Structure 1
């Protein structure tokens, strides 16, 4: 067994087998290019969230990234969906393609097995975390609509969970629904509103309001290249880059303005760059790298 295979087995033991000692784990073997997997995924996520208090959790195994694990379970096609309890497969759920079919099969399994129900407090919170992580992964993959659906479902189980609230806000922003995102932050309890994650989301919203989309970004970039002394055009280019989520290009453009004239427009480029840092998170490695570049421009 290779080192990578040993690592995959350890991750599977930690994330799937150990939780199955007390919970019923739905194992979804899927991969990114599989159309039926993308159709079934939201159904599994919704039902898992609804059944979390009954002791059901969802584990997603990307077969492209975990070929060794898939081979151990003799996965021949995807999606393949199993249920595991106490380290043993107890059911093949692959044929359950609708919410009602899946719930019917789960109800039958739960009547037969001593699955521990989800508990209040820390145990319930632990059950929520994999769902929050799933929403984050879906959002990072570019499917904001599906991510929002996941966060909405989890919010019903944990309405005061800060990670869920922040995930919803970021998904709404990705969909361009900034007013709804602002309303979601405004509705948070006072203590939650002080959370650093919420502060970052608030900063990202402020940045989104200021980052003006550009109809012809390539044309504006060409204009800036032809006339590098036009710092106003360069600043508009940075705004357009931020509006598309291209933070690397936006930071590079703002740094180029600072290098050309750090006091231009009352230091607007530096202020915008600092806002971008705050939105990303001051502890983020990307921000640390950009801060070093800023220091080199200012003091190099």
Structure 2
């Protein structure tokens, strides 16, 4: 009663994705947001545990707090990530303190002992089936094996055609193979909801970097232009993008850090925003990202 059309839609979607499954399953309900770093670190843990516990009647549901403020408000979400266990439409446990796989599995084991959760059937879980393919594909991408990675992501999509991580891997593999136009066409064909997934946001960042690629002589001309006009932040960021597209990420980061140190507020912090986008694209757990983030922190807070 008294709900807006958007709120009614949110409630209906929540009922379909969370309440109804929770009538006989245990739903892990994850409140997250795209900008939340800890959320991105927790997501793989939740996905793995949900896949491992699927045969015991556990499923994972995610609520983006930016897109579902009404639902988040009903659960009085004050910070994210916030994670609840839902059974028969009601929260039965706060899983938020569990940030590692052992912590989460211990809590789930205790909950499942007390509740009449219907065990899952023996139908293979697509997410569990493709997990090894995705892991191997990412490993190959990190070490220059984009063509082999492409084949693995194709195989994964054959099992789960709309899986965001598989789509992201395929797009990034194509970009690494020099087939950026094909990769962009695949990304453009996705729905807005798919594009908002963290894995596909990362793929889009890769595409934007690939689009900045220039010929070697143009790259040298950009370097010369920046050397002669060191205060031209736009040109320096253009150079950083071209360097990143050419695979020179140390040099690209140096240019962006130089711009941030000189004027961190230029164009609403464009240099910092680009560097953070590169961090997300490479992966926050990457050693290079960790080292470069320390350089950024030294500039911002030193």
Could you state the TM-score of these two structures normalised by the residue count of structure 1? 0.49
Could you state the TM-score of these two structures normalised by the residue count of structure 2? 0.49
